[in-house]
Structure 1
Amino acid sequence: MPTVDALSDRLTGYLDLQQIKLVRRAYYYAEQAHDGQRRKSGEPYVTHPLAVASILAGMHMDHQSLMAAMLHDVIEDTAVSRDGLEGQFGTVVADIVDGVSKLTHLEFETRAEAQAENFQKMVLAMAVDIRVILVKLADRLHNMRTLGAMPPEKQRRIARETLDIYAPVAARLGMRDLQLELEDLAFQSYHPMRAKYIRRAVVQARGQRKDVITSIEEAIRNRLKQEGLPGTVSGREKHLYSIYSKMKTKGKSFAEIMDVFAFRIVTESVDDCYRALGIVHNLYKPVPGRFKDYVAIPKANGYQSLHTDLFGARDITIEVQIRTKEMDAVASQGIAEHSHYKIYGDSSSAIDGYNRARKWVQGLLEMQKRAGNSMEFIETVKTDLFPDEVYVFSPKGRIFELPQGATAVDFAYAVHTDIGNSCVSCRINRRLAPLSQPLHSGQTVEIITTPSAQPNMAWLNFVITGKARSAIRHFIKVQHRGESIELGRRLLTQFLSNYGSSIEEIDPAALATVLQEAELKSLDELLQDIGMGNRMAYVVARRLRPVEHEEDEPQELPDSNKATLAIRGTEGMVLHYARCCGPIPGDSITGHISTGRGLVIHRTDCRNIAFMKDDAEKCVYLEWSNSIDEEFIVNLDLKVEPKRGLIATLATTASGASANVLKIDITETDDALNTVHIDLTVKDRVHLAKVMRKLKALKAVYKVTRV
């Protein structure tokens, strides 16, 4: 069990005397605050914060982090307030403690929802001070080390949460040592029998492999010595959870995974790393396509190393990692190494890793603001927590890290949200390519944009990154809301005009009453509800009619004089054209208000709305605007005489009449004539008549009918 004196002795290696005194003071304050409290294991509660501080001391964290670790449960579990803590230890320490305290469990309907909410709070706390997450990770590590005192069901729940959230976050922050221990401890609690069998097999395999490992180590070490290259060589031990994950995801047997021998070479400088690479490639043959240079292009979490696979002696495969001492420290401790180098001098690797982590957290914060709820937020972040990166270049040579499977749209949003929102196409290695094409490392990607372009909902089917998904959803949500409000305004204006009134003339008291009854906050929310079809404009207009018309029904006007809504064709997602009758400009049209969808436009003679045409609550009188510049889909059926090349002739004729042919199907029948079904786009009825005339003029065509 650690003691505060033992911790103080460790801290003398990198903190000054005054800072150590502050850490000890925080310990005695926590000891007094937790007096009488015990852990499930029966130990005094203060042993837990002391152990958390010891874990952070092993990472060479600064004194404020260690003080916060000592005090991290004080606000939550004792009578001490945040203000009281700030008065004693300052604002910075109080902020970190407050951030860690906010990451406690709340009651939710489902466990997934609770987990998502906790993660969302974690991001907000990290954005204030990234040391919050370091204290929380150390807290979780000590809890996992002492998890045996908990009931089995609670052990499994905490272990699952550790694997789902805390271990991936540690990995994303580059803290590999902490990540691996969290994974192994969680695996042993969640799958105790599987962990037991794999551990037993590892011990057995280790004994059988000892001679091979020693001989390979010796061979590499001797070759480095011959070349006068300083460096240490060590065999890397495979971890239980990593073995289990590979067996499960790659479908490999235990023997296949353990047949690969892993070694690490740690040298003095970057130049020595590349020299060492040449030496091992000279000693053993490299496996083609298995070399990765993470020194020149670091991973997203700041990790740097050279990776190579070799064919060793006795027909075995060797994995070798080559890195400098500084890179090795950053690979183990991640952003925690940043605070260590603030004391000992400058380290580009540590600072670069810290800056990358800060950028990632800021990106998460941006996504969190756009997400509708915590479940949507964690869904978008999952791909960022479990990335296998690809590295692509902008035309100017800037490197971008993206998850495996990312597309040009993901790249566009990685450059800037505005670039993503306005992209229309892309060039990959100077050739035009689909926006949905997955990217590969080394490609140069150029995004082509236009100011009038907008994100497409279909992009959500292939984008990978959380930033792209959240930005597209946010844009569509905002656009949908704006269009709903505009349509709602036009619908309400139309029905209010039957009472000789308008939206500008609505009585504020009547509006306030309607908003209160509907549990809405503003007129815009009411108009949005109307535009979405969730509330009938007819009913709302009756409630908001002027006082002098309170006893009146709406003025019944002849059809020719009824207030009509002009359809411009640019209303967007809240206006739909019925597929059953396919209305186009020039057709007589009626609008049907559909709950959740908005306004659905039918031809007036459509049988699907015949029963509700005269219902003022459900149908709206519509007319086409004179300024429509959109094309509409029309379905035609043709009776034709079978002839060679007929389909090509029909398509050419329709295109010659400025119609865009979408689809042509031919159905063979028993009689002499076949039926051809054509889907094409036209501007209006006049354009359609022109197309039909051209088609009917063909010798093989006997009849043309609009479906």
Structure 2
Amino acid sequence: MSPGDPALALPLTAPDEDAVPDYVQSLERAANYLPQAQRAQLRRAWAVGAAAHAGQTRKSGEPYITHPVAVAQVLAEQGLDVETLVAAILHDTIEDTPLSRQDLAAQFGETVAGLVDGVTKLDKLHFADRQEAAAESFRKMLLAMSRDLRVILIKLADRLHNMRTLGAQSAEARRRIAVETLEIFAPIAQRLGMNLIKSELQDLGFRALHPWRHAVIEKRIRSQPVVRREALAQIEARLAQKLALEKLPHRLVGRIKTPWSIYTKMHAENRSFDQVMDVFGYRVIVDSVPDCYHALGVVHSVYKPLDARFRDFIAIPKANGYQSLHTVLFGPYGSPIEVQIRTREMDLVAERGVAAHWAYKHGGDAGNSAQSRASAWIAGLVESQRGTGSSLEFLENVKVDLFPDEVYLFSPKGDILSLPRNSTALDFAYAVHTDVGNHAVAARVDRKLAPLRAQLASGQTVEIITAKSASPAPQWLEYVVTGKARTAIRQQLKHLEHEDAVRVGHHMLDRALGERGTSLDRLPLARLDGYLAENRFPRLEALLADIALGNRMPTQVALTLAQEQPPNLLQPDAVPGERILITGSERGVISFAQCCMPIPGDEIMGYHSAGKGIVVHRLECPNVAEFRKSPERWVAIGWDRAVSGDFDAALRIEVENRPGVLAQVAAAIAHAESNIDRVEYLERDTHTAAIRFSIEVSDRKHLAEVMRRIRRLGVVHGVGRL
């Protein structure tokens, strides 16, 4: 249908008051902070949406338009601007109705059309499965978020209303939506500081996922014993009295725990319901930052604070902009009292997060803090998604970044960076800048040298030491926790692997062409281009990498490319016997066989294996006899003079079977500056034991030194290389 079709005629004026349903009037009441002219825009948007969704119903049987209007009401309760509310009312029109982006732009402006387009899911592409579609939809939503944060606010409100009306879905759909809500949307709401929406999403997700557990905990909360209610009232009265005597204007409210928070605390800390509930919580809201610290002194004078439980999130805000003073007091009933102290502006930001920015009449600074932090977080995600191979990988990285536990770290200049808990110095390096991470070699943590794998704790000052020649190693992926670091390392490793593959493939193809009397440089350009086009290689480098990885045999490629050359006519500069020299820096192209574990100094041969590239074996390896049956797959290979790195080796050590022997052998290996990867017993009886040690050495000399140190031990009967 075209926009001009009579079936799509859009109402240009708002309908009469009598024709407006209750749910629209409810939205208008929630949006009464908007001027009259803007509220008229909401009614017009409803009229357009209702006409576009005419005939469509939800699974509950209600008209479909009730859903987007309810989404808009959630946002109106957060104090959002009129453009966001209009976009919320129309957020499903591009996807589910004949209305186009151009129609919306013409009627409501480019901003509204852009917001709707950002929320629209990818329904026209075909994916391998639902999981991939959801991941790709999330990636698109993120890119739209980077242009306008209000996209995610609409998406969160959309998810919240869907969770409120989840009963109409099938059991399987309820479970899938609940898991997605708890894993993705609730953490995003938390990351954006939107605690009210986060708490409701978590509770609704918990109820959908574990209805029985939710019902039991909810019933226990409602039926609190009289003793607890009296205790709450007495503590609140004492705190309020002392604050009033200090003439400190304040609002004191008790904090009510939700079923989800109780469940997660019971699960994580292995505590009973009574132990979790045996904590009283209060929030003190005051006028200014100095009043916060004044109130802290007051509550500490009423009840003694518990040591090491004070946190100052005003001086060092959380990554989502949250600010508050947290303290835990020793209560009169032996139960801890958790107290949060904050200003009114901080309370607004704590509950609404980035949405608080639009709730300020004059765009006050307090809202900008949460918004700028959210924008910086999203910018980091956008940067990392550019280097991610798939939508699913990207989504996993985002999940890692959404962990709420954080450590706060300082740069040498005093800048504060927040990272997930268990982050390492390498995560910090990538948080500073991707190039800093790629060239990191060590760190100084509180002015002391530390390895890149060192885990960091809040309050530490971290300085990264870099070197131009340094580059990521595959093992780095084992000890980074942030999505940005993981993505950057993978991207750089792929780049380095590709460079190594091109270099090795060039050598192999040139050698095969040399045996046919030519070389890559002498091939007619037209013939080479024709071969690349025929085999769908975008450029020569792709062919060379394919050869190195074992997907194409160099002899067959050379045979095709050299078809018009006289066979076996060697040119003076064709050197068929030249070997590929291993430097130790090759990644993904050359691997070392686990059957014989070659190390520098061993006599070796290379076997060209499909999908694995060149696999290096020792010449004395028992499997070499089998490889002799395929001489075309042999690759002349040797060790470069400058070879470096750690190589796997294995030793069989026979020792006396008594306590402390293993520790002696391990110490001897460590003194020889070798790392132990794995230890396993091969044989064991009453008097002796045979143990296999998997270790890392630099070459045969290093291995000999390790074996020499082991033999010196009186408890060792024999040692040999496996």
* TM-score tier after normalising by the smaller chain length: 0.7 to 0.9
Alignment partners' CA distance in 2, 1:181 and 1:208: 28
User: 606-615 vs 68-77, which deviates more?
Assistant: 606-615
Q: CA deviation at 1:128?
A: 2.3
Q: CA deviation at 1:395?
A: 2.0
Contact 1:634–1:682 under 8 Å retained in 2: no
Contact 1:85–1:94 under 8 Å retained in 2: yes
Alignment partners' CA distance in 2, 1:77 and 1:582: 60
Query: Which residue matches 2:609?
Result: 594
> Which of 218, 242, 245 in structure 2 is aligned with 1:199?
218
> Which of 68, 85, 106 in structure 2 is aligned with 1:66?
85
Contact 1:115–1:161 under 8 Å retained in 2: no
User: 506-515 vs 84-93, which deviates more?
Assistant: 506-515
Contact 2:648–2:694 under 8 Å retained in 1: no
User: 319-328 vs 153-162, which deviates more?
Assistant: 153-162
Query: Which residue matches 1:644?
Result: none
Matched, 1:126 2:145: yes
- Deviation per CA, 1:480-531: give whole Å up to 9, x if none: 1111111111111110112222224445665566556655433222211111
Q: CA deviation at 1:58?
A: 0.9
Matched, 1:300 2:319: yes
Contact 2:357–2:363 under 8 Å retained in 1: no
Query: Which residue matches 1:451?
Result: 468
Contact 1:60–1:339 under 8 Å retained in 2: yes
Q: CA deviation at 1:200?
A: 1.0
Alignment partners' CA distance in 2, 1:609 and 1:527: 26
| Change over 3 Å in CA distance of 1:369–1:610 after alignment to 2 | same
| Change over 3 Å in CA distance of 1:676–1:47 after alignment to 2 | closer
- Deviation per CA, 1:408-429: give whole Å up to 9, x if none: 1111111111111111112222
Q: What is the identity, as a one-letter code, of the residue corresponding to 1:287?
A: L
Contact 2:547–2:554 under 8 Å retained in 1: yes
Query: Which residue matches 1:75?
Result: 94
Contact 2:325–2:340 under 8 Å retained in 1: yes
Q: CA deviation at 1:320?
A: 0.7
| Change over 3 Å in CA distance of 1:682–1:91 after alignment to 2 | closer
Q: CA deviation at 1:102?
A: 2.4
TM-score by length of 2: 0.85
Q: What is the identity, as a one-letter code, of the residue corresponding to 1:569?
A: T
Query: Which residue matches 1:4?
Result: 24
| Change over 3 Å in CA distance of 1:168–1:579 after alignment to 2 | closer
Alignment partners' CA distance in 1, 2:326 and 2:375: 26
Q: CA deviation at 1:619?
A: 0.4
Query: Which residue matches 2:332?
Result: 313
| Change over 3 Å in CA distance of 1:564–1:333 after alignment to 2 | same
Consecutive unaligned residues of structure 2, counting only runs of 5 or more, are 1-20, 655-662
Consecutive unaligned residues of structure 1, counting only runs of 5 or more, are 640-646
Q: What is the identity, as a one-letter code, of the residue corresponding to 1:4?
A: V
| Change over 3 Å in CA distance of 1:592–1:143 after alignment to 2 | same
| Change over 3 Å in CA distance of 1:662–1:155 after alignment to 2 | closer
Contact 2:69–2:88 under 8 Å retained in 1: yes
Alignment partners' CA distance in 1, 2:458 and 2:703: 53
Alignment partners' CA distance in 1, 2:67 and 2:649: 72
> Which of 358, 369, 372 in structure 1 is aligned with 2:386?
369
User: 507-516 vs 613-622, which deviates more?
Assistant: 507-516
Q: What is the identity, as a one-letter code, of the residue corresponding to 1:373?
A: S
Alignment partners' CA distance in 1, 2:457 and 2:396: 24
- Deviation per CA, 1:242-275: give whole Å up to 9, x if none: 1111122221111111111111111000111111
Instruction: Give secondary structure in 2 for the equivalent of 1:400.
Output: strand
> Which of 236, 250, 254 in structure 1 is aligned with 2:269?
250
Number of positions where the alignment pairs a residue of Structure 1 with one of Structure 2: 683
Q: What is the identity, as a one-letter code, of the residue corresponding to 1:251?
A: N
Alignment partners' CA distance in 1, 2:140 and 2:696: 51
Spell out the pairing of 1:265-664 with structure 2 (5 A cutoff). 265-341=284-360, 344-506=361-523, 511=528, 514-515=531-532, 518-549=535-566, 552=567, 562-567=576-581, 569=583, 571-573=585-587, 574-578=589-593, 589-604=604-619, 606-613=621-628, 615-622=630-637
Alignment partners' CA distance in 1, 2:600 and 2:260: 64
Contact 1:587–1:603 under 8 Å retained in 2: yes
| Change over 3 Å in CA distance of 1:50–1:663 after alignment to 2 | closer
User: 586-595 vs 259-268, which deviates more?
Assistant: 586-595
Query: Which residue matches 2:157?
Result: 138
TM-score by length of 1: 0.86
| Change over 3 Å in CA distance of 1:511–1:84 after alignment to 2 | farther
Query: Which residue matches 1:170?
Result: 189
Matched, 1:150 2:139: no
Q: What is the identity, as a one-letter code, of the residue corresponding to 1:276?
A: A
Contact 1:562–1:621 under 8 Å retained in 2: no
Q: What is the identity, as a one-letter code, of the residue corresponding to 1:463?
A: V
Q: CA deviation at 1:434?
A: 3.0
Contact 2:27–2:70 under 8 Å retained in 1: no
Instruction: Give secondary structure in 1 for the equivalent of 2:636.
Output: strand
Alignment partners' CA distance in 1, 2:235 and 2:551: 72
Q: CA deviation at 1:633?
A: 8.0
Q: CA deviation at 1:338?
A: 1.0
Alignment partners' CA distance in 2, 1:429 and 1:226: 44
Alignment partners' CA distance in 1, 2:235 and 2:702: 79
Contact 1:424–1:449 under 8 Å retained in 2: yes
Alignment partners' CA distance in 1, 2:380 and 2:497: 24
Q: What is the identity, as a one-letter code, of the residue corresponding to 1:400?
A: L
Q: What is the identity, as a one-letter code, of the residue corresponding to 1:594?
A: S
Query: Which residue matches 1:237?
Result: 256
Query: Which residue matches 2:660?
Result: none
Alignment partners' CA distance in 1, 2:628 and 2:336: 76
